[in-house]
A = this chain, B = another copy of it.
Amino acid sequence: MIILDSESNVPLYLQLRTQIMEAIVRGELAKGDTLPSVRGLAGDLGINMHTVNKSYHELESKGIIEIVPKKGAVIIADTEKHASKKQYENLGEELRPVVAEGLVCGLNEEDLHQLISNIISKIKEV
């Protein structure tokens, strides 16, 4: 289900983190599901355990999974429930540099909305 591109300039841990989030968006993974063990997933994907660990810890810090001793990485995100204040602020902080970059590169508000809509379609259609 997860395909990483080692040629991409997007770091592997970020590709992995994003693909797990996108699988949740598409309903392939849902609240309560457990992700594969760090060792198992690293082995399956042929990547370093450290890379998987970094993805899992970022997902945990974003409130998307919880790492439960002896159980593993459990999904706690609920796509039906609106973001917490902290998650919303965090998103704003992550979006701001990219929005600034878009404006510097000559995109306007409408262009950015269009780009967001295109990305949402891509995420949902995979």
Partner-B contacts on A (CB < 8 A): 9-10, 14, 17-18, 21-22, 24-25, 62-64, 77-84, 87-88, 91-107, 109, 112-113, 115-120, 122-123
- B94–A82 contact, CB under 8 A? no
Can you identify 11 A-B contacts, CB atoms within 8 angstroms? A18-B96, A64-B101, A79-B103, A82-B105, A83-B106, A83-B107, A91-B102, A94-B98, A94-B101, A99-B116, A116-B116
C-alpha gap A81/B17 in the complex (Å): 34
CB neighbours of A24 from chain B (8 A): 104
Q: Which residues of chain B are within 8 angstroms of A123 by Cβ–Cβ distance?
A: 96, 99-100, 103
Could you tell me if B83 and A99 are in contact, using CB atoms closer than 8 angstroms? no
**B105–A116 CB distance below 8 A:** no
Shortest beta-carbon distance from A98 to chain B in Å: 5
Cβ contact within 8 Å between B120 and A103: yes
Flag if A116 contacts B113 (CB, 8 Å): yes
Is B10 a contact of A101 with CB atoms below 8 Å?
no
CA distance A105 to B77 in the complex (A): 7
